Amino acid sequence: MQSKGLIQFLVVVVTLACLYSLSFTFVTRKVEKDAAAYAQGDMAKEKAYLDSMAGEEVYNLGIAKFTYREAKANELALGLDLKGGMNVTMEIALNELIANLANNPKDPNFNKALETAVTKAKTTNTSLIDLFINEYKATGAGTPIASFFATKDNSSVIKASSSESELKSFLNAEADNAIQNSYKVLRTRIDKFGVASPNIQIQQGTNRILIELPGVSDQERVRKLLQGSAKLEFYETYNNLQIYPLLENINGTLATSLKGEKPATAADTTVKAAADTTAKEENLLANLNANKADSAKDTTNAVANATALANNPLFAILSPSFYQAPNGQTQLIPGSTVGYANLKDTAKVNQYLARPEIKSIIPADLKLLWAVKPETNTPNILALHAIKTTGADHKAVMTGDVITDARPGSDPQTNKPIVSMDMNADGARQWRRVTAQAAQNKDAIAIVLDNVVYSAPTVNDEIPGGSSTISGNFTFEDTKDLSNVLKAGRLPTTAKIVEEAVVGPSLGQVAIDSGVNSSVIGIIVVMMFMIAYYNRAGIAANIAVLFNVFFLMGVLASLNAVLTLPGIAGIVLTMGTAVDANVLIYERMREELSLGKSMRQVVSDGYKHALPSILDSQITTFLVGVILFFTGSGPIQGFATTLMIGIITSLFTAIFITRLIFEYMLSKEMKITVSFPWSNHTMKNANYKFIEKRKLFYGISLVAVVICFAAILTKGFSYGVDFQGGRTYTVKFDQPVAAEAVRESLDNVFGTTTEVKTFGSENQLRVTTSYHIQETSDEADQEVLGKLNEGLSKVQGKYEILSQQKVGPTIASDIRDRAIYAAVLSIIVIAAYILIRFRRWQYSAGAAIATIHDAIILLGLFSILDGLVPFSLDIDQHFVAAILTVLGYSVNDTVVVFDRLREYLGKPNAHHEKMDTTINKAINSTLSRTVITSLTVIFVLAVLFVFGGEVIRGFSFAILIGIVVATYSSIFLAAPAIYDLSAGKHLADSAKPEEKKQAKVIA
């Protein structure tokens, strides 16, 4: 074996890397287990414990140390379906953006075009901007559309004479800025909300933002938090020298008022972690003399000290803004920053400042606001700013609607990142007045969005003209973020929830148990079969399977992937397909062994001859995974990620791990066996006449396709909520209930047909309603939920709503279109790959016929069996993932036959054999591999179907049935189709050029 040492080194490196990636998960689980044990079921206590541990070191590798927050960011996180929580899709109102950019004109043609574009956008994938421009042109209005946007604020980038392409570029750029700004605002809000491991991402190519909030239970609070409008404001500030006496007063007042309360009040927020550490005594003066980073570190120690908490409750967790002067004296740092606190302590500071006795001594025109994020050199420390409000209504001195442009750049003298900002005429006048006043005492002007300080630059001089630069301790990314915030400040756009799914923790635990059970049982089933069929070689394959699962989990953790239930299904499926490469190798080894070769030569030739088939079969499935990843969302992306990584790790373990094991056995002269006596002759020397019988199977397939087409056209499908829109609820009763009785009760309440299906056990139902399908507001949500409760209350027995999902019609249309696109694209990509790989259109056409056949049969069976089987057969995103996986597997099987056919056609004497004989030989020689691989996959899918839980039962059923159909088509349709497509002519000239030359010489 060449490069044996390199491969051994690679295995060791990958193993250590996976251990490192997974170790964070073990560490965080240990901390969370300690928190649960400490809290004894009190969720508030448990959260306080984990908050206190956020900045504490929990993992020490010697060369690197990690806090709980850092370890949490590197763990293998669980998705909503496993942990419970909320999944929300926010849509940015681009129609408001367009109207704002044009200063909300009253022109009827403009407003009619915008209104029509919004309506059409709900049922098409065309962008709202393109639709709006097209609709305006359709009105026949004489006013150029660009003239509406040629306002004073936009004069530098758009003119009344601008072309349509220039206008589109302008609107698209502004839309992108608005989406990016909304993302930043939502990110900040969620970080403040305190959700562990949130997932927030912009859905590329859309105006939507996907938000996953594991563990969240306060749904109403989340909705208000996410949908509240954000407003950019400019505030004058107080100086630290003015505020420090107030902070001393607050500190003293707190010390007095807390004396009569439970001494551990403050310690409760830092709980056991702080109590268990032995911190040395440090007085307040020592704390104030430190710089802000050391000061914050000392603060953490001070929190653990009961004396410091009692005497200086505020200063124990909020370090005043001091520095040590050259003369050794402690001095207050000028500026708006009045203190620094550890991230984990900011909630406690807020709690102190909100106490009635403290609010009474804080001036009415003072607001204490936190910075948006920690500074670069102090990653766990947040600054607190003193903001001065103006007027009787305590507002900002300016709002962001006066900004015309903002852009990142660099100072020409220092080359440091800065932000340049321009204002309109009104803004320039206000800015001159505000900066002139601030410059008198070198005060700062705070830029505030959503009650968070994004920047507070000090003003050195009056700024006339409305153009100014903002400098500070910025990175280039910081300047991009700030410029986006400033630009979007004049264009307030609302973000509304258009899709929502709520999963209760109880359902999540059931999903975890189901997934773990199916995974474990799947591994056991595969291992038992491999040993029973392949003897000692089966043991080597089992070791490879275990390594495969370990590597797969390690890679997922290193990529910060979120593990979902479909992701677990992907792992289980990967375990089944992982043996495919081993089966190809072992079947080839058995062929080589029958030729009388030595075992060392058998191993070498077995791997060499099996490698092309292994790569071709796995690449086609991998391509399907790529398409699923880029066209799917949420759990489907999780499944695709797992599938793709599983293919890579399967190849690595099958090709390298098993080879190392065999090399070791050969070096120790250990016996290698690839079968038992009973399995040695299974399908060996098979000689079935597939080509001669092909028309019979064509007829069977044609009848099946016609029946399935008829069912699809007449009966149709039961679409999931993500394909048709609406709201779905999972309801659990305390006793078995009749689905029909529940449906009748809900139909009476909703006044429309309600879909009610048994979901798992007889006391659990899935309810889907299209009531208010066009409405996505909170009021509509509450009305639907109220009617649901009204209908359910009329059914005998107590009930609990475990989960709920809402999908707007726009989202449903988009998901459905993307699903069709993904299916068509998969077939095209696979056909193209086969054409490139095999250089004959007959191969591509044969594979396409087989995959289309499989897709129609699977769709037809879902239509026919819907309502006849005791589980859901909805057509939804999970079904799309299933059908694409089946298509990938179908081609996987087919390619193995094609590879063997190509091999036979490339032999020197290929022309001496009839084409039908060659195809029969290719199918028969790979029959054992086809059947064995299909059986292993069917075994694990049967386990997944039985033990995987109701949530993915339809998903696993689709793949299970699809594998059976795909196995049939790869044997009876794909290769025989090549014979007919080539009119029985020989395709031996598809061999490599050197092989063709050799064949001619021999002839």
Q: Which stretches in the chain have pLDDT values below 50?
A: 263-304, 990-1003
Q: Tell me how far apart the alpha carbons of residues 18 and 948 are, in angstroms, rounded to a whole number.
A: 26
Q: Do 812 and 723 form a contact (C-beta atoms < 8 A)? A: yes
CA dihedral 889, 891, 893, 899 (to 10 degrees): -150
In angstroms, how far is the first alpha carbon of the chain from the final one?
A: 35
In the prediction, which pLDDT does 201 show? 78
DSSP structural state of residue 333:
P
Neighbours of 143 (CB within 10 A): 14
Q: Do 579 and 530 form a contact (C-beta atoms < 8 A)? A: yes
In the prediction, which pLDDT does 490 show? 54
Q: Do 531 and 539 form a contact (C-beta atoms < 8 A)? A: yes
DSSP string, 805-842: EEE-HHHHHHHHHHHHHHHHHHHHHHHHHHHHHH--HH
Q: How does strand 398-399 pair with strand 232-237?
A: antiparallel
Neighbours of 770 (CB within 10 A): 17
Q: What burial letters (b/e) apply to 275-295, b meaning 16+ CB within 10 Å?
A: eeeeeeebeeeebbbbebbeb
Short-list 157, 91, 143, CA closest to 113 = 143
Establish how many alpha carbons lie within 13 A of residue 26's alpha carbon, considering only the half-sphere containing its beta carbon. 9
In the prediction, which pLDDT does 236 show? 93
Q: Read off the tokens for 25.
A: 């998960």
Q: How many residues does the structure list for the chain? A: 1003
Q: Do 386 and 380 form a contact (C-beta atoms < 8 A)? A: no
In the prediction, which pLDDT does 946 show? 85
Identity at 166, one-letter amino acid code:
E
Q: Tell me how far apart the alpha carbons of residues 302 and 310 are, in angstroms, rounded to a whole number.
A: 11
Residue 573, CA distances (Å) to 92, 159, 938, 945 in order: 37, 58, 9, 11
Domains of the chain and any CATH numbers: 4-75 (no CATH), 535-714+814-1002 (1.20.1640.10), 726-807 (3.30.70.3400)
**Residues in contact with 513: Cβ distance below 8 Å, sequence separation at least 6, in sequence order:** 949
Neighbours of 699 (CB within 10 A): 10
Q: How does strand 77-78 pair with strand 319-320?
A: unpaired
Q: Tell me how far apart the alpha carbons of residues 680 and 300 are, in angstroms, rounded to a whole number.
A: 69
Q: Read off the tokens for 218.
A: 């306060």
Residue 823, CA distances (Å) to 419, 880, 968 in order: 46, 8, 20
* Runs of H (alpha helix) within 395-454: 425-440
Short-list 261, 258, 120, 95, CA closest to 178 = 95
3-state SS, residue 331: strand
Neighbours of 588 (CB within 10 A): 25
**Dihedral sign of CA atoms 912, 913, 918, 924 in order:** negative
pTM of the model: 0.68
In the prediction, which pLDDT does 369 show? 93
3 state SS for 488-539: HCCCCCCEEEEEEEEECHHHHHHHHHHHHHHHHHHHHHHHHHHHHHHCHHHH
Identity at 212, one-letter amino acid code:
E
Q: Which H helix or E strand runs over 730?
A: strand 726-733
Establish how many alpha carbons lie within 13 A of residue 246's alpha carbon, considering only the half-sphere containing its beta carbon. 20
**Residues in contact with 220: Cβ distance below 8 Å, sequence separation at least 6, in sequence order:** none
